[in-house]
């Protein structure tokens, strides 16, 4: 059972942003400070990717761990309506896979920066995230992900 009434839940869910999220703004401002110029949410590309670098034929997707079903400490599944959420996360992951496949088929390189790399107990140093992004931009790597630190065994 939900802890708030349906009108409050609807207002909360409507306030969830799909663009210009805090993690996305962090990544964009760091790259901009370093002199990189890019397009935002290019409507000519499927899924309107977060950050597009035409000069490098590169796309950076800044994904929230919860909404994209990342398997990390931030990618939790709500305890209520569990089946609904699991199905939703799987649909979101399938859409992500399809869009990445389309980008790559169109000749674009793709980097996914996960929210857990930027916040939470397993986040990386921000300078490390920026260094990895810049190194990737100047590489020939077609696909890469940057996530938070793994658990020590």
> Which domain CATH number covers 103?
3.40.960.10
Query: Does 8 reside within a domain?
Result: no
Query: Higher-confidence residue: 135 or 78?
Result: 135
Residues in contact with 138: Cβ distance below 8 Å, sequence separation at least 6, in sequence order: 56
- Domain count of the chain? 1
CB 92 within 8 A of CB 117: no
Query: Does 45 reside within a domain?
Result: yes
Q: Region 78-98: what's the mean pLDDT?
A: 94
pLDDT of amino acid 135: 98
Residues in contact with 7: Cβ distance below 8 Å, sequence separation at least 6, in sequence order: none
Tokens found for residue 27: 């990544």
Q: Region 8-32: what's the mean pLDDT?
A: 78
Query: Does 123 reside within a domain?
Result: yes
Query: Does 12 reside within a domain?
Result: no
Query: Does 31 reside within a domain?
Result: yes
Query: Higher-confidence residue: 150 or 67?
Result: 67
- Give residue 30's domain range: 21-146
pLDDT of amino acid 20: 72
Q: Using CA atoms, how far apart are residues 64 and 19, in angstroms rounded to an integer?
A: 11
């Amino acid at each position: 059972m939900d802890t708030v009434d349906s009108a409050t839940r609807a207002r909360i869910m409507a306030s969830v942003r799909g663009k210009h999220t805090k993690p996305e703004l962090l990544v964009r401002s760091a790259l901009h400070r370093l002199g990189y110029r890019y397009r935002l949410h290019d409507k000519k590309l499927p899924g309107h990717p977060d950050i597009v670098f035409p000069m490098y034929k590169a796309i950076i997707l800044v994904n929230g761990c919860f909404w994209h079903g990342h398997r990390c400490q931030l990618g939790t599944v709500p305890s209520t309506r569990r089946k609904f959420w699991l199905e939703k996360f799987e649909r979101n992951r399938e859409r992500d896979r399809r869009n990445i496949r389309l980008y790559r088929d169109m000749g674009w390189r793709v980097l996914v920066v996960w929210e857990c790399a930027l916040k939470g107990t397993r986040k990386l140093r921000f300078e490390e995230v920026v260094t990895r992004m810049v190194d990737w931009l100047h590489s020939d790597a077609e696909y890469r992900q940057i996530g938070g630190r793994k658990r020590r065994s």
